[in-house]
Structure formats: structure tokens, C-alpha cells
Structure 1
Amino acid sequence: MRDELIFSLDIGTRTIIGIVGEYTEDERFKVLAYSIREHKKRNMYDGQIHDIDGVVKLVKEIVLELEEKTGERLKVVSIAAAGRALKTHKIRMEKYIDGLKEITKFDVEALELEAIQRAQDEINEVEINKNFKYYSIGYTVADYYLDEDRIEKLEGHKGERIGVELLATFLPQIVIESLYSVISRVGLEVGSITLEPIAAINVAIKKELRLLNLALIDIGAGTSDIAITKDGQITSYAMTSTAGDEITERLAKAYLLDFNSSEKLKVNLSKKEEHEFVDVVGMQYKLTTTEIVNTIIDIIEKIAVEVSERILEFNGKSPNAVFLIGGSSQMPMLKESIAEKLGLPKERVAIRDASIIENIEGLEEVNGPDMITPIGIAIEGAQDKYKNFIKVNFNGEEIRIFNTEDIKVSDVLILTGYNPRDLLPKKSNDFIYYLNGKKRIIKGKEGTQPQIIVDKELANLKTKLYDKANIEIISSVVEPLVIPYLYDVVQMDKSVYFEEKEINLVKTIKINDEIINHNIILSPEVYIEVEEIKTLEELILEYKKDISIDEFLVNGAKVFHTYQLKKGDVIKRIVDIKEYNNIRDNEKKIKLVINNEEMEIYYKKDKFVFVDIFDYIDFDLSSLRGKLILKVNNRDAEYLEELKDGDNIKVYWE
């Protein structure tokens, strides 16, 4: 991309316009190529990007078309943000300087930047209880001062004190970041960024006209941006979120049209007198512009009311005249309605197109009111007015970032679209298998903690950055999970001693319905079925069906029928009733309600505590399946708390 080339993008709610131009020797701005794309779907609402990928796709198409037309590789672009959620702040800043030295351009720029930073501090102090962090997006100088006297230009003069009064404009961080994300993903670099009403007014209303009290309204699809001039300066910016899309949606409801058909009809209202279209149920219409406008006059007047109220709020009275720009400004009856709401003669509200911009050529074919803002963005970028960027090196790539008062590592990561998940330790994949129909998970291994290095020093997301800082992120390193064998997840040797015979409680193991008798390596998502004897009751029914369960002891103690057998348990039949009675006399009994089931439990310990219940209920604690919930009488339980008769126990995974 030749240094003299200027590339600008106007990323609007309904269209994206790209322009490539250059200044000629006689200081005229020559448009070499332009490209316009309409959003096929609602990628943006009210000037805010919602579908970043959708916007990126269109911008890529525009870049390719412009590169083909110009034969140049485009790298740096000027952009602008819509006036959505903007804040304006007027501030005056003064500083002492060396009175023996001439004032340089750098001195003036430093003064302006300091004023912007102070304005930003004040804005953020006011908004401190909200979730927004505001960025400076542009400013307009109202006056310069030299030793208390107002002066047109400071450069070249000498004095002891210089000052500036400017109107700084701020937008929430989220608006800026979405624009930066689009430009970064396309592979471009932001050369300058401004606000759409700033760009528009600087080309639509010449400086000498700003002695008059004028209002410029840029009515786009998503927002209506307003700039007001008085006494030779721009005094304020404002916006409403009521704009062209409101008309499109109103037409869609009135005539049962899809959004794109309704948008096409809206555009044609300013071009044709008669319109033929078919609604979604097949009904044909043939109507005049007047008939259609009368149907939707309420929404036209709503736009007029809202922009008029904002003008009166910021200007204190009706201005001398109003200029309308933007694609939706051409809507029939809109300018007349605005004139009525502001109490102005109809001729004092006029639609302006790009033909009013002085010293420009190459837009003869398309010079409508929707081209003013894209041209203004290009010219703002060419003047390189703000120069509020710093350059940093991020993972070997040079990045330019809008220079607020406190650039941090996190700002660069947001700008470059760095995935925040990459700042967390990586983890090997979980191993999932199914045991007796229940999903089981062997958690993957945690990797090393990623490191942020700034200028060879360990840093963090809040580390402050300066021009030419070098940022490197060392990624997490993780070892792969070791694939388990069958016997790692199923206990094969689970023997008990039943009447002096060793019995393995595990009867059969099936993997995907096939009986397995040896230790094999498992595959992910494998289904394992284990048939085993779990309780004392199941054991007796398997081997001694004709004998009562009450006639058996486990490890010399009387237990409940649902006692969960464990490896090494000794089960013996009571042969001496006297011995049995002695055992019962030495045992204690507790009655509990466990997961809505009444249970009577015998035990020999001094006291029965909460954790003991897992010896008597069928509840698997061998693997995590969520958060373990333990309750006693509807309160959180403690593992070693003593239980009492009648306690209501809840044990479950959440």
C-alpha cells in the first residue's frame, strides 16, 4: 500500500462502504475506487456490531474488490464508530512552557492529549458505578489560548502558558473493541479512528459556516447521529437509536413483508412514485408513495420527534438550519416533519449529498447523502489528526492500539481477538466410559500455567504497556491422559468368606455385550457391565435361599439386610441361639430415614456417625459425578456428626 493512499471504511448498520483515495497536487481528494456491500442479515443493531463474523465476511469482500480495482495491497484503514452510547465532555487545559522556545506541533499535540486524558478521567469517575469503561474516540478543538488570549494557531508563537478548550467524545469500550476485532480478523491495521458525526460534520459544514447555529443529522439504519455548531465551533454531539430500521420494521408489519423486501421498499420510496410488491401470503399490492407514507407516518414522526428533542436538549433552542445526511434522510415527509417539530420553515431543513464537499473528485456516479460520512472518515484519516496510537509487539506481530491513559496487556489481547481460554492451563481430554449404564469420567490431566512475559519480565493482564513493548505468551503444556485398562476401573478380586468358603462377588464382566475374562485396554465411550453380588441379602439368596438372613453375622456383628459387602468380609451362620442373643444384647440399634426409605441399623460402636451410613446403603463414592450433597434434617451434614433415632438423611449428587 503506497503511503499516499488513504483507505477508509464506514461500517454501518445496513451497509458497509469502503473508499480508497489520494490527495492530488492541487490538494483535491481524488476517489480512486469505492465498494458498497449490504448486510444480508442483521449483523448490526443500532450501530453496534452483533455478528462479528458476518461483518468480517463483508469487509473482506470490500477489501478484495478495492485491491483489484487499485492494484494495491491495502494494509492500513481509517474507521469510525457510530454515536451509540457516546458521551461528550468539554474541558479546558492549560500548562506552562519555556517562554524562550517556539511552540512546536508536538507541544500542541501533547497539550491536546493531556486534555483528552483528563476528560476521560472525569468521564470514568462519573460512570464508576456502571459496567462501562469509556475510551476517547475523538475530539474537536474549540479554542487555543496563549497567555490567556484566544489565538487561532499556537505553532510558531512564544509564550509562558498555552491552553486548549476542546470537546472530547467517548464511547464504551465494547463499541471500540468490536470494531477493532473486525479489522484485526480481516488482517488490516487501524490507522485512525474517529466518530461518525465528527467525520461527517467536518466535510458537510465548512468551518466558516459554523458561526451559524446549525444542526447536522446523520440518519442511518441503526442510529441518528447529531452534531451542533454555534459561534464558530462544534458545541455538542448527540444521538438517538431511532433511525431507518424503525421505518423498515414498520413497513414489514404494515404490509406483511420480510425484512429485506421491506428494506427495498423503503429505499424505493425516495426514488419512485408507484410501487408493486407481494406480501408473504401472496397478496399483490400496487400503491403510490403517498399512500405508503400515510400508512407509516407515525414512525416517520417518531424519528422527527426524537431527533428534534435531542437537538433542543443540547442546543437549548431551535437552530438556524438543519442539514440531513445518511441513507435514511431521504425518506419522504421526514425533513418536513423535522421542520415542523423544530418550528422552522421547510426550506431551513435540507438534505445534503456528497456534491457539497469541496475539493473532491471521483464520486460523480454515487454522491448521495450516504457517501458524506465515508468521505469524512477518509479525510480525517488523511489528516492523521489524533496520532493517539502506540505500537507493541505481540507474539512476534506488530500491533497498533488506540492510546488511552492506561494501556494494559488485556487491551492488546482484546484487540487481537486472543482467546481468553488460552490463558488457562490446558487439560488433556477426559476419558469417558459407562459402568452398568452410568456415565463415568476419568478427568484429564491439568497442564502448566500459561505465562505472560512483557519485556522479558513475568507480567499479568493488568501490566501497563508503553510504546514498543514486547509481549509474549507462553502456552500451557499438558501431558496426555494414560488410557486405563479394565482392571483399573473394575475391581476384579472382591472376595468374601462365606461359611469358610472364599467367594468372589464379581460374577461376570461384559464389554459391549461380550464376556471378558482378562485385563484389556479400554476404548473411549466403552460400555462395561459388571454382574456382582452387592448386599448380604443378595449373597444369602444366591447360596442359601432356604435360610433366613437374620441367622447370619458379618464380621461377628448383626447387620441390616442391605449391608454393602466389602472385600474380606466374613459371613457366618449363627448356630447357637445363646450366642445370637448375646450378640443382640451387645449391639445398639438406630432407626433412620435415608433417601425417603426407613432403615433399622444395628451397630457395636460407641456412637453411630454420619459417615457410617455408607456401610449400609448402595451409594457409589468411587468417582465424582457432580457435587456431593449431604443433608441431615434439611441442613448440611458433617461427616463425623452423631446421628439420632428418626434423623432424616439425604445423600445425592447434584
Structure 2
Amino acid sequence: MTEEITFALDIGTRTIVGVLIRKTENGYQIIDSAVREHQTRAMLDGQIHNVAKVAEAVAELKNELEAKTELKLKKVAIAAAGRALKTVTQTNSLELDKSRYIEEEDLKNLELTTIKQAQDKIHKSEKNTVRMKNNNNQKQAKEAVDYHFVGYTVRNYQLDGMNLGHLLGQRGKIMEVELVATFLPRIVIDSLLAVINRVDLEVEHLTLEPIAASHIVIPESMSNFNLALVDIGAGTSDIAITKKGSISGYAMVPIAGDEITEIISNKFLVDYNNAEKLKCNLLNKEKLELKTILGDQIELEKEEVLAAIETELDRLSTAIAESILEINSQPPQAVIFIGGGSLTPGLKEKFASKIDIIENRIGIRKREDLENIEGEITGVNTTQTLTPLGIAVLTRETDNKAVFIEVEVNKEQITLLTLTQPTIADALLAANIELKQLNPRPGMGITATVNGNLKTVKGELGSPAKILLNQEESKLQAAVNNGDQISFKPGLAGKDAEAKIKDLIPESDLVDYTIYLNETKNVIETQVFQNDKLVTLDTELIDGAEIKYTVPQTIKDALVQIMEVPAADFGKQKIEYSFNGQPETITDSKYFITTDAGKIVELDQFLKTGLKLLIKNKAKSDFTIKDLLKKKGNQEIHFYFNGSRLSVPDQIWSVEVNGEKVELDYQIEAGDQIRAFSRTLTIAGVFEYINYNISEKMKNKMEILLNGKVVDLKTKIKAEDKLKVKLNI
């Protein structure tokens, strides 16, 4: 067979159609065709049940075409159908390490992991179904069906919550996709290939019947409409939904022409083949003659046969309508019927009432509607020729022909089926590689609050997977061919974050000083508490911990740390007492702090290494009666006594504390009851204050001079006065 001619086979439940076409300037030309009907029930509901019988029919058809055209047929294009075709709608998101421009590898990872989730979902569903059946019937226990992934269609992309037509080249962090993935049981493909291998043919292209039919039935001008294409064959009704220029969903209804044929067979007692002929004659005959299995020749009215199949026709219409609504969510804009079953009288009317579409939006496409194809396929009605022609044309217009190949993944032989050029991604899916291993998760981070501020320690990012194609480094989207060897080494997950306390505290806040207190050496350093427990800087950080730390800066901070007492203890203490019956309060420190040289130290003085301090508790307050009287406004005056300068209060006080007379240097204590009496300062008061005792004998011999004048003891004294005492002997 020359490269200019394409051989396509449509292996249906009742009929096998083979066609040879070539490309022309205006489209395509049918060179020749052949048709074979199965003589036994070798196929049911689109699935091959007897490989040998089907292969025998295909061989006859192939030989006929080779004889008519004098060509040697080596390659063939085929399409798969079957009631177990599954579609899964799956949504998945992928968060990048940071907001950045999205590359092709990112997009492939997203779509591939989403397909894997759909694959896992269908396998899980199948296993659950089989488990339930096995529990109900232990004698006929079955294994779960294995599925080929055959293609997918993206419905929607989102980036950071915004709907977008495509993600490649966009900038963002969180990618999301909704797609429809399609799967076929491996047995469907394997049985098809078994037939092809038996007749010494090689598969040039393999597709799905709905895809092939829609390729030629739906014109490009209608590709953006929401349409349903329904191919009603003998065993199955294949459904494809188109939206926005691509197929968005598939379905199979295991009800088709055979069910109607069986109703006729059972109702009128005719064998299956005669019942099939009777069904086909409903299109152009009002009276129908047939022979029953008992040998009787009978004549039937067309209306009598239509009445017999009405219930089954209603069931078929309902099943198709429900399947369309399930995968499309609403009635499509139009429905196109193809296949031999689409010509059944009354189908359009029944179907229109089930799906709420006006009848003129339901069409039946035939061979005559294809203007770009010359020639005819004889032996079947024209609606049955659309699928084989679609297979042939799709094969000619598809660049990638090698769609069924065998490759090696990690030294395991994998059979690979795709509807386009297969890639490494397809091979990994078929090998059931866990796709989370492509880009393993980064290690878990640690968070903590540090003095009220949230801090995060990130885990390691991990290493990506390593992919080799024929021992050379490659990528997911790289094309693969028959016999290729693929090596997949999973990526390594990132290590969870680990940190010590010191990792979260600025280096500038980590200080230490050496000081001496009462001749004892002490190291003062930054103190850290984790969840209220004092810890060292090398303590492991706990996830979610509350970290609090203080940086020592002053002498007060050092004393608090050394003595382990509250900072408030180094503040002024309140001392409450009463003065002349009125409550009063003073403040004073509990401690007396000096340097080793005796210099009084201020508590807010900054720390420095080598500082030497002395500290002692005060037994009593430093605050005296004299300090209190000064606070009350009592002032001192300066004067001269016998040439010496002296200071005395400007008033003379008599003070009692708790009922006892005290001196002015008495240190006030909490709770003291103080009473004080004052009098004007006189010369007699001065002598009393300075303890200058005058006896009665002296008084008679003493002469008192104030500022050079003779005065007595009752004379008042003022600042800067000059007082002299002379004794007259």
C-alpha cells in the first residue's frame, strides 16, 4: 500500500466496514470499500467477544480490497468503542514555591497530576463496584477492570482565583485546572489489537469512534457551538459533547439498534438476521413480509411493528437524553444523529420530548452531507459510513501516527495508547507512577511568635525528579517512540524545618557582661523564655511556640537577673505615716548600692563588663524627721557664734513619735504617728540646738552681744547675725 492511500476499519457490533481513501485537491476520494456482517454474535455492545470470528471477517474484507485494488495492505486505522468508556471530571490545584511566570513544565505537572487523580478515582470506583458484586456473588468473583488513559480536554484554568484561557506565560502562584479525562478498558483495546495482529496488519492510527465521527460531521464553522453528536450503532450509542472548539465529554449508552432488533425477533418469532432486515425495511415499506422460525410466511403492517418497538425506542431516547444532560449539565444547542440506528422512524420525535429541544434542532447526518469526499461506500446505509470515513480522514489529518507503542519504564514493559504523539508524561501515567514524586512537597516550616512578632523558619524545598529518555536527561513533554527506555527517579521531599532559639533572635540582641556583686562573679546575658520556660540559646525551637526575651542594658536589669527578684523591688518603696494627725506617704529604696569605691550607683546606668558593685538591704528608711521638716518648708539659717559660722533651723521643733520625744535624725518607719511643735528661733533656742549648756551661775556672769549690742536669751536671731558670749569674772 502506498503512503498516499489510507485503509480504515470500523468494526461494529453487526457490521465491519473497510474503506480506502486518498487525498485530492478538493478533499478526499474513496478508492474502494468492502462490508462484512458478522455471521454470529461475535460482538456485543461494541465489545469483541470472539477474537477469532471477528478476525476471520476482517481477513475476508482485507482480501477483497486487496483483490479489487491489487494493493498490499499493511497498515490500518481503527477506532475503539464500548459501553465501558469512562469520563472523569477532575479539578486540581498546584501551588508554586513563589509567585512567578508559569513555564510549560509547571503546566504539564499540573495537568498530569490532575489526570492521575482522575485515574485513581476511576480505579477506586471500579474496585468498590467489583467488591460489592463479589460480596453478593462469591462464586463469580471478578477482578477490577484495568483502564487505558486515552486523552483529556481542559475545561477551565484559574490562576490565583481568576479564570483564564491559558496559564502559560502568566504570572502567579496558585494554578488550578478543571479537565475531562477519558479512559477505556484495556480489554477493549487489547481485543482490537488481537484482531489486527491476526490478519497481519499494523495499527497506523487508533482513535475513539465519537472523535472520528465528529471530525467530519461537525463543520469547522459550528465548532464553537455546544453540540451533542450521537452515533447509534448496533450495540452501543456513542455520545460526544463539543464546546468551544473541542470535545468536552464522552459517554456510551449500552442501548442501540440490537435492542430494537431483539424486540422484533421476540415479538414476531423471527430469527435475529431476519428481524434486522425487517427493521431496515421500516424506512421504505408500508407492508412487510417475513418468515417465522416455525416456517410460516406472514405479512405485517409498518404501524404494527412501530407499535411493538415504541417502548424500547422510548427507553433508548431517555437513556441518550439523560447521558447528554449528565455530562453537559444542560440541553445542548443542537443534537446530530449518525449511525444506522438514527434512521429508526419516530426517534427524533421521542428524543425531542426527553431533552427539551425543538425538533428542528435535531438533525441526522448522512454521507450525502459531506461535500469534500468523492465516491461511495456500498453495502450499508449512508449514515453508517460516516464513522469509517471519519477514521480515515482523521488519520490523514493527524500528524502523529505512532499512537500505540511499547516503551520501557524503569525496566518494566509498558503498552502505551494515546490519541496524539505519546510523551514521557503518558508513559509515566500508564506505568502508574505516583506523580506527586515529580515535585515532592517542601519540608514543613516552623512558626513562632518572638516578642509578639510572627517568625517563620522554612523547610527545605526538596529535589525534583530525574527523568532519563534513552539515558539522556529529558522532560515530561518529550515525545517517545516504540522501544524507548525511560528511567524515572523520584524527587526527594524537603526536610522539615529545624531551628534553635538563637536562630530567631537578632545577633545584636544576644549580649553578655561579666560583673561582680559583693565580690561574686556573675555573667549577665540575654534571657529567653519558650512557652514561659527559661531556656538556653541552643534549645530546639518548638513549632507554634511563644518566645519572649529581654536584653539586659542597665545595672537594674543585671540586679534583677542575679538576685532573681522583680524589677519593682529596685524601685522606691512606699512608707505611710501620719504627721500631726494627717496621713502622708514618702518613697524610698530597699537597697543601698555603691561601687567598690563607695560611690552611689544609679540603677539606670548602662552595663559594662568588669563593673564591681556592693549592695545591702536598708534596715530602715534614710528619710529622717529633719528631712520631713525640710519638706514642710523648714529652712536653715547661717550665723556666726564667737567667730565660727553655724547653721540652725529657722524654727525650733519639738517632735514626738508614737508618744515619745525624738531627735531630728530619727529615721521614719511605716506606721509612725508623728507630732511636731515649733517656736520662733531665739538665742536660747540656738544654745539648746547646739547643746550649749548655761548654768544659773553662768547666767549671772554672762554677757550676750548680738551684732555688738547687749541682748538677753529671748532675743530673736536672724541670718548672718554675729553672736558673742562674754563671761565677767
Cα shift at 1:264: 0.9
In structure 2, the partner of 1:256 is: 269
In structure 1, the partner of 2:71 is: 72
Cα shift at 1:294: 1.6
| 2:348 corresponds to 1:335 | yes
In structure 2, the partner of 1:345 is: 358
Distance 1:34 1:150, change over 3 A: farther
Distance 1:466 1:114, change over 3 A: farther
* C-alpha distance after superposition, 1:311-342 (max 9, x if no partner): 22222333332211111111111121111222
Distance 1:164 1:206, change over 3 A: farther
Q: Distance in 1 between matches of 2:15 and 2:233?
A: 9
Which amino acid counterpart does residue 375 of structure 1 have in structure 2?
L
| 2:491 corresponds to 1:468 | no
Pick from 246, 249, 269 the counterpart of residue 236 of structure 1.
249
Please, which moves more after superposition, 160-169 or 214-223?
Answer: 160-169
* C-alpha distance after superposition, 1:565-593 (max 9, x if no partner): xxxxxxxxxxxxxxxxxxxxxxxxxxxxx
Cα shift at 1:164: 8.1
Alignment of 1:396-475 (within 5 A): 402=417, 404-405=427-428, 467-468=482-483
Cα shift at 1:234: 2.6
In structure 1, the partner of 2:6 is: 6
Alignment of 1:120-199 (within 5 A): 120-129=119-128, 130=130, 131-140=144-153, 166-199=179-212
| 2:32 corresponds to 1:41 | no
Q: Distance in 2 between matches of 1:143 and 1:4?
A: 39
In structure 2, the partner of 1:60 is: 59
SS of the equivalent of 2:289 reads: strand
| Alignment gaps of 5+ in structure 2 | 131-143, 418-425, 432-469, 471-479, 486-729
Please, which moves more after superposition, 112-121 or 183-192?
Answer: 112-121
Distance 1:363 1:240, change over 3 A: same
Residue pair 1:83, 1:195 contacting (<8 A) in 2 also: no
Q: Distance in 2 between matches of 1:93 and 1:388?
A: 27
In structure 2, the partner of 1:296 is: 309
Residue pair 1:326, 1:370 contacting (<8 A) in 2 also: yes
Residue pair 1:210, 1:234 contacting (<8 A) in 2 also: no
| 2:298 corresponds to 1:285 | yes
Q: Distance in 2 between matches of 1:31 and 1:115?
A: 41
Residue pair 1:312, 1:318 contacting (<8 A) in 2 also: yes
Pick from 319, 331, 335 the counterpart of residue 306 of structure 1.
319
Q: Distance in 1 between matches of 2:124 and 2:310?
A: 42
Distance 1:179 1:250, change over 3 A: same
Alignment of 1:10-21 (within 5 A): 10-21=10-21
Cα shift at 1:361: 2.1
In structure 1, the partner of 2:281 is: 268
Cα shift at 1:25: 4.0
In structure 1, the partner of 2:369 is: 356
In structure 2, the partner of 1:321 is: 334
Q: Distance in 2 between matches of 1:142 and 1:44?
A: 34
SS of the equivalent of 1:211 reads: coil
Q: Distance in 2 between matches of 1:35 and 1:142?
A: 39
Q: Distance in 1 between matches of 2:273 and 2:243?
A: 40
Distance 1:92 1:309, change over 3 A: closer
Cα shift at 1:252: 0.6
Cα shift at 1:139: 3.9
SS of the equivalent of 1:197 reads: helix
Please, which moves more after superposition, 288-297 or 116-125?
Answer: 116-125
CA RMSD of aligned residues (A): 4.0
Cα shift at 1:61: 1.1
Distance 1:265 1:339, change over 3 A: same
Please, which moves more after superposition, 250-259 or 74-83?
Answer: 74-83
TM-score norm. by structure 1 comes to 0.54
Which amino acid counterpart does residue 12 of structure 1 have in structure 2?
G
Pick from 363, 381, 404 the counterpart of residue 395 of structure 2.
381
Please, which moves more after superposition, 183-192 or 257-266?
Answer: 183-192
TM-score norm. by structure 2 comes to 0.49
Cα shift at 1:217: 1.2
Q: Distance in 1 between matches of 2:69 and 2:79?
A: 23
In structure 2, the partner of 1:411 is: none
Q: Distance in 2 between matches of 1:110 and 1:372?
A: 37
Larger radius of gyration: 2
SS of the equivalent of 1:271 reads: coil
Distance 1:139 1:191, change over 3 A: farther
Q: Distance in 1 between matches of 2:152 and 2:76?
A: 19
Residue pair 2:203, 2:404 contacting (<8 A) in 1 also: no
Which amino acid counterpart does residue 13 of structure 2 have in structure 1?
T
| 2:31 corresponds to 1:32 | yes
Cα shift at 1:93: 8.5
Cα shift at 1:259: 0.7
Distance 1:67 1:466, change over 3 A: closer
Cα shift at 1:183: 1.0
Cα shift at 1:150: 5.5
Residue pair 2:19, 2:377 contacting (<8 A) in 1 also: no
In structure 2, the partner of 1:390 is: 405
Cα shift at 1:140: 4.3
| Alignment gaps of 5+ in structure 1 | 409-454, 456-464, 471-654
| 2:223 corresponds to 1:224 | no
Distance 1:373 1:144, change over 3 A: farther
Cα shift at 1:110: 10
Which amino acid counterpart does residue 260 of structure 2 have in structure 1?
I
Alignment of 1:206-225 (within 5 A): 206-225=219-238
| 2:369 corresponds to 1:370 | no
Cα shift at 1:94: 9.5
* C-alpha distance after superposition, 1:39-83 (max 9, x if no partner): 111111111111111100011111112222333222222211114
Q: Distance in 2 between matches of 1:115 and 1:68?
A: 49
Q: Which runs of 4+ in 1 moved over 6 A?
A: 92-96, 106-115, 143-149, 157-165
Could you tell me the percent identity over the aligned residues? 44
Distance 1:120 1:30, change over 3 A: farther
Cα shift at 1:305: 1.7
Cα shift at 1:169: 1.2
| 2:260 corresponds to 1:247 | yes
Q: Distance in 1 between matches of 2:6 and 2:112?
A: 24
Q: Distance in 2 between matches of 1:211 and 1:406?
A: 31
| 2:70 corresponds to 1:81 | no
Distance 1:117 1:466, change over 3 A: farther
In structure 2, the partner of 1:633 is: none
Alignment of 1:580-599 (within 5 A): none
SS of the equivalent of 2:39 reads: coil
Cα shift at 1:112: 7.7
